[in-house]
Amino acid sequence: MDDFIAARSQMALSLGFHIIFSCIGMVMPFFMAVSHYKWLKTNDEVYKNITKAWSKGVAIFFATGAVSGTMLSFELGLLWPKFMEHAGPIFGMPFSLEGTAFFIEAIALGFFLYGWNKLNKWFHWFTGMVVGVSGLASGILVVAANAWMNSPAGFDFVNGQYLNIDPIQAMFNKAWFTQALHMCLAAFTATGFAVAGVHALMVLRNSNKDFHLKAFKIAAVFACIGALLQPLSGDLSAKDVAKRQPAKLAAMEALYKTEKPAPLLIGGIVNEKDKTVKMAIQLPGALSFLAHGDFKAEVKGLDQIPEDQHPPVAITHYAFQIMVGIGTLLMLVAIIYFITIFKKKPLTDKPWLLKLFVYAIPLGYIALEAGWVVTEVGRQPWIIYGIMRTKDAVTPMPGIAYSFYIFSAIYISLSIIVTFLLYRQIKMVPILYNNSSTEPQKS
Amino acid sequence: MEYVVITFLCLGILLYFLLGGADFGAGIIELFTSAKNRGKTRKTMYQAIGPVWEANHMWLIIAIVILFVGFPHIYTTMSVYLHIPLLIMLIGIIARGTAFVFRHYDAVHDNMQEVYNKIFVYSSFITPLFLGIIAGSVISGHIDTQATDFVSAYIYSWLNWFSVSVGLFTVALCGFLAAIYLIGETKDEHDKKRFIKKAEFMNIAAVLFGAMVFIASFKENVPLADWVFKNPIGLSAVILASLSLILLWYLLLKGKTKILRVLAGFQVTMILLAISYAHFPNFIRLKGGDTISLFSAVGPEKTIYSLGLALLLGSVLILPFLGYLFYKFQQKEEE
């Protein structure tokens, strides 16, 4: 394996792994806080048990997210030293703030997990909220750093020199808001659907119905609100990308030729050699509308961009299709769910609706990963858009392929263990929480 | 602001050494505990580090973020030439962190526990070993930026007597810190004796490996002895460290336990000070005697300014909260 490809694969793998864990780590605390609040208000033990059960999941995901995040802070330098040498001082601001936010999150989590029966109950609830808020803040900050790579700001690039560095301006670059919004909603939607789906499955299996139904409802509301808002945020992102990174937008839609008006392609098979797309459904003018808010506007195609600056078109296009496709599906599920609640029919009478949620368990994360592929692969061949190429940033050390193999093995085994642990946690719910008068066993 | 940032960098490294180090040490102690006592050691250890252990490891992140934002040239030089030990250390961190949490949060207690334990204790040994190796390599003068072949650029940069001795010394110090810490955590007299034994053992190991570090430094021309003994601050730090060690053992025999931690922490701080003071502000010693100093590698002014502000702001938020965490869980144990 070529060292450059190995380095890119290792980075993609590490980020792809970390992103799932950090999303769960930043969203679950809010679910916990809701259930915790309900317990404090209603004294219904079931809510306390849900909170405890979720908090164990959070501890597992948080620890895994924390170590994979530590890994990433080193990996940036291990794999891309030339990038970090120049970019570190410019886009480091969100990272240093993120360090703070993450630290607070870890402290608050210590309070929350070990504070049962030890702290004032509202202070305890508050520490849980702090976990969520600081987790969300970390997420936004890290995405802001990534946004800088897409939309470099806060410095002047003169003859290969990075001058007049302004880290604050770099942090508030043009892409930070749209990217962070899209990411946060994606985190809520994906995690919400995954959690709701797991509980829906247990309701369908008739085990601890009350517990799982209450848990399901909390997660489902978050998921559905996220799924309804996401298309709006996606629209903001699309318009933003069209303005800043026309090459990425063209790759997302496999638009090889500049067109006016430009059609939106749904699906299709991309042939990168012939620069054609076959078998796609065309919606005339729709891409013009999405990108510029006008059905007749011109959309820049790849023909206006020098060939050596083209991102890989097929991957970006397919990933974009997957993301949008799943997003639309989840939005439909959300609409159906809200209509059902509005009609006030008990959910247990509608097993098909619960089944929909079960099918949706992996979908949110697939869309989330696909979206990440769109933004990262779509930025290629640049590591800092328009400034530095990814291949110029890679470490001079040979043999990166081996490190890629090692990390693949580690991440695969970690994923297996975490899944196994969650399976065991869920399986133990009847034993741990069935009789609300007994305290869950302590290990 | 430069000085604020450098202070935080030193503080981050020091606290990681003390808190994270005690944390690693707990695993090392478990590794050197006979099978029949392991269960008890583990329980004491879990009660002691459970609530604070995530926070302990944040210091590493703080230090590394300061390095890559404020001193990118140092960060990238280390990343390139110490790629392999960094990688091993990271694998250790991943394995250790996850095993620790998994073994606690596995809802079913069966023989998977043994797997987690094994991973935990071995990675508790390997991680500080490689942290020490990295620290040793930074000052060893073996990093060769002119090297053209793989082995001298990426292997000999860290695989040498000096770096390895520093690694072993680090492991012994971590074990020592943990043993002293655990003495104060247990109420059981038998356990207390066991931890005292461990502290003795780790203390002897630290002295031996410390001597090895000095021997290796002569052999490999690291001016360690000059830094420590020819510099008034370095020398007084060493004397204070030795005095505090004597005081520590005296108090231990007297049966005082809580004050020991302060002394052990002080002692390790003095050792770090003795080694680094005369070297400061130089950070990396390269082959051929060139150095990269914190001041020469410092990032642009505006970056340092905002980094310093972020750190100050962060510490206003973090330190009281963290202090309360330590206090709260300390207090509960005493009840």
Q: Considering only CA atoms, which of A359, A417, A414, A367 is closest in space to residue A188?
A: A367
Mean pLDDT of B108-126: 84
Q: Select from B76, B113, B123 the residue whose CB has the most chain A CBs within 10 Å, as the one to mutate to test that interface.
A: B76
0.90 exceeded by pTM: no
What CA–CA distance (Å, rounded) separates B98 from B172?
23
Q: Do A111 and B300 touch (CB under 8 A)?
A: no
A150: part of which helix (H) or strand (E)? helix A121-150
Helices (H), A205-312: 209-244, 246-252, 286-292
> DSSP letter at A267?
S
- In this structure, the dihedral spanned by the alpha carbons of residues A326, A331, A334 and A336, taken in order and rounded to 10 degrees, is -100
Nearest CA in chain A to B60: A70
ipTM: 0.83
What CA–CA distance (Å, rounded) separates B204 from B216?
18
Mean pLDDT of B42-56: 69
pLDDT at B334 over 80: no
pLDDT at A437 over 60: no
- Residue A245 tokens read as 């990174």
> Would you state the pLDDT for residue A439?
40
> Would you state the pLDDT for residue A368?
93
* Contact of B13 with B268, CB cutoff 8 Å: no
Q: Is A416 on the interface with B (CB under 8 A)?
A: no
Residues of A in contact with B97 (CB under 8 A): 63-64, 66-67, 70
Helix (H, G, I), strand (E, B) or coil at A209: helix
> Would you state the pLDDT for residue A442?
35
Nearest CA in chain B to A420: B106
Nearest CA in chain B to A130: B321
What CA–CA distance (Å, rounded) separates A321 from A339?
27
Q: How near does any CA of chain B get to the CA of A15, in Å?
A: 15
pLDDT at B39 over 80: no
Residue A381 preceded by cis peptide, ω within 30? yes
Q: How near does any CA of chain B get to the CA of A68, in Å?
A: 7
* Contact of A13 with A410, CB cutoff 8 Å: no
Q: Which of A75, A100, A427 sits opposite B317 (nearest CB)?
A: A100
Q: Strand A156-158 and strand A161-163: pairing? A: antiparallel
Interface of B with A in 122-181 (CB under 8 A): 150, 153-154
What CA–CA distance (Å, rounded) separates B67 from A251?
36
In chain B, domain spans: 2-218+300-314
What CA–CA distance (Å, rounded) separates A383 from A364?
27
pLDDT at A433 over 70: no
- In this structure, the dihedral spanned by the alpha carbons of residues B48, B54, B60 and B61, taken in order and rounded to 10 degrees, is -170
Location of structure tokens 């729709």: A286
* Contact of A335 with A228, CB cutoff 8 Å: yes
Nearest CA in chain B to A127: B321
The segment with the largest mean pLDDT, out of A185-199, B80-94, B163-177, B302-316, is A185-199
- Higher local confidence (pLDDT), B228 or A194: A194
Mean pLDDT of A44-51: 87
Task: Please write the tens of the pLDDT for every residue from A95-115.
Answer: 888 888 888 888 888 888 888
What CA–CA distance (Å, rounded) separates B151 from B155?
5
What CA–CA distance (Å, rounded) separates A421 from A415?
10
pLDDT, averaged across chain B: 82
Q: Do B318 and A107 touch (CB under 8 A)?
A: yes
- Residue A270 tokens read as 């991309």
> Would you state the pLDDT for residue A184?
93
- Higher local confidence (pLDDT), A380 or B280: A380
> Band of the pLDDT at A140, cuts 50, 70, 90?
very high
Q: Select from B306, B316, B326 the residue whose CB has the most chain A CBs within 10 Å, as the one to mutate to test that interface.
A: B306
* Contact of B244 with B212, CB cutoff 8 Å: no
Q: Select from B98, B143, B335 the residue whose CB has the most chain A CBs within 10 Å, as the one to mutate to test that interface.
A: B98
Task: Please write the tens of the pLDDT for every residue from A198-244.
Answer: 989 888 887 788 888 888 989 999 999 999 999 999 888 888 888 88
* Contact of B109 with A441, CB cutoff 8 Å: no
pLDDT at A440 over 70: no
B231's CB contacts (< 8 A; 6+ apart) are: B277, B278
Q: Do A107 and B62 touch (CB under 8 A)?
A: no
